[in-house]
Every structure is written in structure tokens, then in C-alpha cells.
Amino acid sequence: MYAYFDNAATTPLDPTVLEAMLPYLGQHYGNPSSLHGPGRQVRSAIEQARKMVAQLINAAPSEITFTSGGTEADNYAIFGSVCTLGLRHAITSPLEHHAVLHPLQALAKKGETELSYLRHDELGRLDLEHLEELLATKPRSFVSLMHGNNEIGNLNDIKAIGEICARHDAIFHTDTVQTMGHYSHDVQQLQNHFLVGSAHKFHGPKGVGFLYRRGGVEVAPLIHGGSQERNVRSGTENVYGIVGLATALEIACRDMAAHRQHVQGLKNRFIEQLQAGIDGVQFNGLSAEADQSLYTVLSVSLPPSAISEMLLFSLDISKVAASGGSACTSGAQLGSHVLEALGADPNRPTVRLSMSKMNTEAEVDYAVAQLVKLYQPVLK
């Protein structure tokens, strides 16, 4: 058995998704920009995929742009908004993914925008009163706050954030990479201008994602050189990836309730068994709170031990795939900026266990047994 619990990094490809992609890896090879029959056939597949994605988030097809993934989509929203709309102030959180933090920091370093960081508490809960204060005292702002945190699993109230942004005429971008396909998103009920998804986080292929851009928000392209994607994103489209993305999202939305029930059960099983098996185990952020965190992510904080720096490697040897980190940089890995921002104890190692519909209770039991076997002897 190899127990794979790194689904927040990437999920296994759904066999049905692969089946949908295969014709576009073989017989349907036309360039979608070509006017002949083979090209038109492929173009039709892209537009059908666009309609499907739009329908699933209650958007218009013209508001969906296919990209190479979540990082490109985030960068497009950030650079496009700040540079095209001339927004001289941006707000984010120190807990955001680097796909958001690094572009904003680059723009701030060049003096193109002032960057403010939202306050949060030791559990990673954002201070929305601070957001209101910043928006009230600054010029028109760009706000980028994620829905679900990829490291600690915290869920942010993006509906409330959007309402605050709307009151101050701010441009609101939200990275929903970890929640797309796992939670329902209705852009007609949100006040966001940009929303991002990535196929390989919901059992689709790697290298393809999408950006929702609300109609009427016009920003300059990030990639130039052609007229693809309605002049928004140049370059020949990743046709089989786009077909795979739409198929994967359709399956994820169709089976969402059953998927959530199954995966939440696995997470609860992890929590109970880890608490019973390892003295002093804790959970980072709101990770163990079912109604306030991603049901797919559990961030486990372990007591200091001699095996701390080799823990993930040892788990891999034991055939358990996980990820993690600590609040500081060690010889083995870079520290987590999220854990550092929370003020986590740098001596306590963290293991992130992230689950999917393809995991089983037997895999949870095996992973816990391996972790306890590796960890407990060094505590005695």
C-alpha cells in the first residue's frame, strides 16, 4: 500500500476525465484557430468546455478565460488590475499563496502600488474590521484574499469580504484553487471581480486552469502574441487540458455532496486517531474545526523530536505521501510563511494531510499507524 495524502498539492486524474481527453490527444488534432473542419471541431470542444465551466459557477461564457493554471490566472488578475486600472493601493493577507504574494510584492517593490497586509489572529482568522478601515482610508484598492488556505485549511468568508469591497468600490480577486470543485461557487451571489480555478486540484489534468473575470472589468493581457481567448490570453489553447478541466469540474460539482461526506469522514478519522496515538498533537489554524476549514485539509502540529527534520522523508520511506513544514527554515526544507505568520513554535514539525474522494479508511489507518510508529519511540 502507498497512502497518498498530498491532494492539496495535486489530485489523481479521474479515469473518466482521461477518457474525455483522449480523443483530443489523438484524432482531433486541428488547431482551434484554423477555419477548416478539423480546426472548427476542436474550437467547438473548447467553447463547449467554456459553457460548462460558466454554467457551473453561474457566469457568462465570455467571462471565462482558460489559462495554464492557477498561478497564471492569479498573476493576470493582479498585474492586469493594478497596471491597467491604475490602482495605487493593494490589500492582501500574509497567509496567501505565493502566487498572490509574490506578484503583489513585485509591484510594490517597483513602486506601482502600495501594499497593505490584513491583520489576523493566531488561528489565522482575518480581521475584516481592519479591511473596512484600510478601504475607508486609502484610494480605490485592489483586494486579494483566498477562499480556502492551502496550508492550514482556514475558510474565509468571501461573500462578506466581497460586500465590504463593494461598499468601497474596490476590485476584489479571490483565489479559489483549493475550494473549486469542493464547494459551490455562484458568482452572482458574490461581489468578486476575479475568481481562479486549477484543474489538477479537482481530479483534472495539470497545466490548465481558468480565470473568471466579471463582465465590464477590462484589463490588459498578461501574455501577448495572438488573438486567442478573445484577445485576453495569447497562445494556442491546451485543448485536451481544457476538455479535461470542464469534465473534471462537472463530475466534482455533480458528486460534491457525497464527496464531502466521504472526505470529512476521513478527516474526522485522522483527528481522532492522531489524538489517541500521539501525546501532545495539535492542529494548526482552524484545521480541526469542521465548519471553519477545508474538509480536504488537516494541518497537524507534532511535538518536537529528534526525527522532526526527517519526518516527511521517513513517511515517504514508509509509503505515506504528505507535505508539511515548520515556522522556520531548516537544513531540510524552507520554512512555511503561513506558520511563521501565525507565530507557530518553530520546533514543532507540521504534517499536512490532504484527502480526496479516492482515499479510503484503510489508508487513513495505515498512515496513522506509520506516523505513530515513526514518532512515538523518539518521544520516550
List active site positions.
Answer: 328
Query: What are the two backbone dihedrals, phi and then psi, of residue 259, each rounded to the nearest 5 degrees?
Result: -60, -50
Give residue 191's Cα distance to chain centre: 19
Backbone angle region of 224, left / alpha / beta, with phi > 0 → left and psi within -120 to 50 → alpha: beta
Count CB neighbours of 301 within 10 A: 22
The single residue listed with the C-alpha cell 507535505 is 323
Q: State how far the Cα of 100 lies from the Cα of 183, in Å rounded to an integer.
A: 21
The single residue listed with the C-alpha cell 494556442 is 236
Q: State how far the Cα of 304 lies from the Cα of 308, in Å rounded to an integer.
A: 7
Opening angle at CA 307, ends 305 and 310, nearest 5: 140
- Cell digits of residue 18: 482521461
Q: What one-letter code names the amino acid at 205?
A: P
